[in-house]
Amino acid sequence: MKIYDFDEIIERRGTNCVKYDMLGAAYGNSEALPLWVADTDFRVPDFIMDALRERMEHEILAYSFRPDSYYETIVNWMDRQHDWKIEKEMITSSPGVVSAVTMLIMALSEPGDKVIVQPPVYFPFFTCIKGSDRKMVENPLIIKDGRYTFDFENLKRNIDEKTKLLILCSPHNPGGMVWTMEELEELSRICTEHGIVIISDEIHCDLIFAGHKHIPLPKVSETISNNCAVLMAPSKTFNVAGLSAALVIIPNKRLRVKYDKVLNTIHIHSGHIFGNIAIEAAFRNGYEWHDQLITYLEGNYKFLEAFVTEKLPKVKIMKPEATYLVWLDFTAYNLSEIALAKILIDGGIALNNGSKFGTGGEGYFRLNFGCPRSVLEEGLIKMEKALEKKED
Ligand SMILES: Cc1ncc(COP(=O)(O)O)c(C=O)c1O
């Protein structure tokens, strides 16, 4: 078995990467340690790089299509990783998950219609809705037993005849929740009862920690399978977000035809030559690498948990069940977000401000632990020093 090295430090500065090279613009401190943008500092695995290099060597990079082998590897991955049996016909595409959300909103609702989001949540959803001239309706998550869950009573109160869509983030960013069958069943039941289609963003579905199991939404019931669109991608797991390649899986033909009409109208259905190759290579050969990645991320989380519990007891962790993101509650410091953000960035560490994630995010910061452990340790030490100074 090949052993992959996730401890390797790779210099990313100077590659036009958002995480490092936009720190100055975003935080005014280009030297800070960036634990913000949700990509990882891990090398793209050799089996993806080899496939890309081999194709590049041909030196004609003209129009291409997705071969049968592309669809077969996706069908197999879904079966092996998620016990989810899908047909080739259900699989369509998008350059990205966020663009797919916007295209689905355009395909499945009209201007002025209402779209539900459940904040705090991945904030580009807000732009997808508002930029499409739809009305955003919030059903904020509630905290129960230390984890987020859905507020079904508030959801029911907020639905009216204009409500057409709900955007679900599953697993959840920023909280890291892997939604349970009970949670998904009730959410699906309420939505289908009111004719609401669920756009299920499952981009983090391959980053699940031991003891949890991701449930692709269509597995919940035949009814919701016919009333949802699932968005997945290798981008987070295999660190290929720059290759513009995502999967849109829509079991219901009527909904799929509507989505494909938008995709074909914009004329972006063929995808990116290297994105398509990366998807196939990742899902064909990624099983062993993926197991090692999860083990490493679990180790990083354990390290972070031990550090924060011992050295930063005022910071409360929402324990992630998935993703390489952790949602940290700083409310015990009794400081404004602006004040806390300044303390952290002056201390040399860049995290995401919680309020960006919408209602309920104030007082929290999101930390990305998808990096070598030594980098994570350096970041945590900076955080400890910055907050210690504050206590003086
Ligand atoms: C929940 C979620 N959806 C979508 C994305 C981005 O997807 P894409 O780059 O394919 O638009 C991210 C990236 O952080 C994410 O966390």
Distance (Å) from CA 368 to ligand 1 centroid: 14
70 assigned to some structural domain: yes
Atom of ligand 1 nearest to the CA of 37: 14
Same domain for 122 and 227, yes or no, is: yes
90 assigned to some structural domain: yes
Other C-beta atoms closer than 10 Å to the C-beta of 302 total: 10
Distance (Å) from CA 204 to ligand 1 centroid: 8
Burial 347-383 (b: 16+ CB within 10 A, else e): bbbbbbbbbbbbebbbbbbbbbbbbbeebbebbbbbb
Distance (Å) from CA 389 to ligand 1 centroid: 35
Which of 17, 19, 122 for mutating ligand 1's site (highest number of atoms within 8 Å of CB)?
122
Q: Show which of 285, 307, 340 is a domain's final residue.
A: 285
Over its C-alpha atoms, the chain yields an Rg (Å, rounded) of 21
Here the tokens at position 73 are 């590897």
Same domain for 195 and 305, yes or no, is: no
Alpha carbon distance 310, 376 (integer Å): 16
pLDDT of residue 360: 98
Which of 105, 148, 236, 247 for mutating ligand 1's site (highest number of atoms within 8 Å of CB)?
236
- Could you read off the pLDDT of 85-135 as tens digits, one per residue? 999 999 999 999 999 999 999 999 999 999 999 999 999 999 999 999 999
Mean pLDDT of the chain: 97
12 assigned to some structural domain: no
Same domain for 299 and 268, yes or no, is: no
Same domain for 251 and 304, yes or no, is: no
Same domain for 327 and 363, yes or no, is: yes
**Mean pLDDT of the 20-48 span:** 97
Same domain for 127 and 140, yes or no, is: yes
What CATH code is carried by the domain that includes residue 23?
3.90.1150.10
Burial (CB < 10 A; 0-12, 13-18, 19+), residue 106, is buried
pLDDT of residue 1: 87
55 assigned to some structural domain: no
Question: Is residue 83's pLDDT more than 80?
Answer: yes
Same domain for 102 and 147, yes or no, is: yes
Distance (Å) from CA 60 to ligand 1 centroid: 30
Here the tokens at position 200 are 């299920």
Residue 37 phi, psi dihedral angles, 5° rounding = -40, 140
Torsion angle in degrees (nearest 10) through CA of 270, 275, 281, 284: -60
Q: Which domain holds residue 255?
A: 61-285
- Could you read off the pLDDT of 164-213 as tens digits, one per residue? 999 999 999 999 999 999 999 999 999 999 999 999 999 999 999 999 99
- Could you read off the pLDDT of 266-314 as tens digits, one per residue? 999 999 999 999 999 999 999 999 999 999 999 999 999 999 999 999 9
- Using CA atoms, how far residue 292 sits from 5, 73, 84, 98, 278, in Å, is 9, 20, 22, 28, 19
Q: Show which of 230, 253, 285 is a domain's final residue.
A: 285
Distance (Å) from CA 98 to ligand 1 centroid: 6
Same domain for 330 and 352, yes or no, is: yes
CA atoms within 13 A on the CB side of 149: 15
What CATH code is carried by the domain that includes residue 117?
3.40.640.10
Phi-psi label, residue 264: left if phi above 0, alpha if psi -120 to 50, beta otherwise: alpha
Same domain for 240 and 115, yes or no, is: yes
Same domain for 281 and 311, yes or no, is: no
- Could you read off the pLDDT of 348-369 as tens digits, one per residue? 999 999 999 999 999 999 999 9
7 assigned to some structural domain: no
- Relative to beta strand 349-350, strand 325-329 is unpaired
**Mean pLDDT of the 132-142 span:** 98
Long-range interactions of 184-187: CB distance < 8 A, separation 24+: 184/215, 184/217, 184/220, 184/224, 185/220, 185/221, 186/150, 186/152, 187/150, 187/152, 187/155
In the chain, the number of structural domains is 2
pLDDT of residue 391: 64
Same domain for 248 and 319, yes or no, is: no
**Mean pLDDT of the 359-382 span:** 98
Residue 318 phi, psi dihedral angles, 5° rounding = -90, 115
**Is the distance from CB of 98 to CB of 124 less than 8 angstroms?**
yes
To which residue do tokens 């940290």 refer? 328
Q: Show which of 285, 304, 328 is a domain's final residue.
A: 285
What is the percent of the chain where pLDDT is above 90? 98
Distance (Å) from CA 97 to ligand 1 centroid: 6
Nearest residue by C-alpha to atom 13 in ligand 1: 38
Residue 273 phi, psi dihedral angles, 5° rounding = -55, -45
Question: Is residue 322's pLDDT more than 70?
Answer: yes
Distance (Å) from CA 124 to ligand 1 centroid: 8
10 assigned to some structural domain: no
53 assigned to some structural domain: no
* Sign of the C-alpha dihedral computed for residues 76, 82, 83 and 89 taken in this order: negative
Q: For residue 392, what pLDDT band results from cuts at 50, 70 and 90?
A: low
Instruction: Name all residues whose Cβ lies below 6 A of ligand 1.
Output: 38, 96-98, 122, 169, 173, 201, 203, 233, 235, 241, 246
54 assigned to some structural domain: no
Nearest residue by C-alpha to atom 14 in ligand 1: 38
Question: Is residue 389's pLDDT more than 90?
Answer: no
Same domain for 239 and 116, yes or no, is: yes
